Amino acid sequence: MEKTLYIVRHGETDFNRQNIVQGSGVDSSLNILGQTQAQHFYQAYKDFPFQKIYISKLKRTEESVASFIKENIPFEKLEGLNEISWGKYEGKSHTLEFEQEYQQRVIDWKNGLWDLPISEGETPLQLHLRQKEALQHILSKPEEKHVLICMHGRALKAFICLLLNIPLSHMDDYEHRNLGLYVFEWKDGGFNMLVKNDAKHLAGVDVVNDLT
């Protein structure tokens, strides 16, 4: 089977700009900068032979690849690509309480405690299970050789671990930015990373790098 995945994080939203926690429970739209980032990515990759687009069920991903969808490239929404749930903090400004709990969870997850969530949120293991189902669905379509995927920050970190078949402890080894591009090629029964968080197409575009 031949398959190449082109994976981007969604463009900036006002919640990103305002330092408000989003997660899977907040369905925000791109702001003007996010729309600009999306257009820069489109202009750079509009001639790529994408045969299918996969997005989460949150509109900030659909808006990020809207120009490709307008070219009548088939697309599909998968809940497995949704962002992790940040529980009781979603829709709220970053607080000291959240920052302290988040930083502790990052340490916990690096130490292999993937069954621990942010308060009332989702665990990395729960995220991994739904992402695994989404990936199996994507891989079940061998005719889709060039696939564009748009998803979210923490979800992207976890998805990379799934693609590379490495522990979730390595999630934070992988940086992300709005409309930054990762490319993975299926070869010899597994994925190889070809491109890591490339942002040449965003030259001169301001970027906020935060959660979700």
pLDDT tens readout for residues 18-52: 999 999 999 999 999 999 999 999 999 999 999 99
Over range 156-160, report the average pLDDT. 98
* Length of the chain measured in residues: 212
pLDDT digits over 70-111, tens only?
999 999 999 999 999 999 999 999 999 999 999 999 999 999
- 28 in any annotated domain: yes
10 within 8 A of 83, measured Cβ to Cβ = no
Please report the pLDDT score of residue 107 as a whole number: 98
Residue 9 lies in a domain: yes
Task: Give the span between the Cα atoms of 105 and 123, in whole angstroms.
Answer: 10
Q: Is the pLDDT of residue 206 over 90?
A: no
Residue 207 belongs to some domain of the structure: no
Phi, psi values for residue 70, rounded to 5°:
-65, -20
pTM of the model: 0.95
Residues 196 and 198: their CA atoms lie apart, in Å, by 6
Helix-helix angle 153-164:124-139, to 10 degrees: 60
Do residues 72 and 50 make contact, with C-beta atoms less than 8 angstroms apart? Answer: no
The whole-number average pLDDT for the span 189-210 is: 86
> What strands lie across the sheet with 146-151, from one edge to the other?
75-77, 52-55, 146-151, 4-9, 181-187, 190-198
- Per the structure, the complete domain to which residue 124 belongs is given by 4-202
| Measured distance CA(107)–CA(113) in Å, rounded | 9
DSSP structural state of residue 11 = P
The CATH number of residue 70's host domain is 3.40.50.1240
Helix (H, G, I), strand (E, B) or coil at 178: strand
Residue 212 lies in a domain: no
The terminus-to-terminus CA distance of the chain in angstroms comes to 32
- What's the number of domains the chain is made of? 1
Residue 208 lies in a domain: no
**pLDDT per residue over 174-189, tens digit each?**
999 999 999 999 988 9
Residue 85 included in any domain: yes
Q: Is 209 contained in some domain?
A: no
The answer to whether residue 116 sits within a structural domain is yes
Among the listed residues 33, 17, 69, the one whose alpha carbon sits nearest the alpha carbon of residue 202? 33
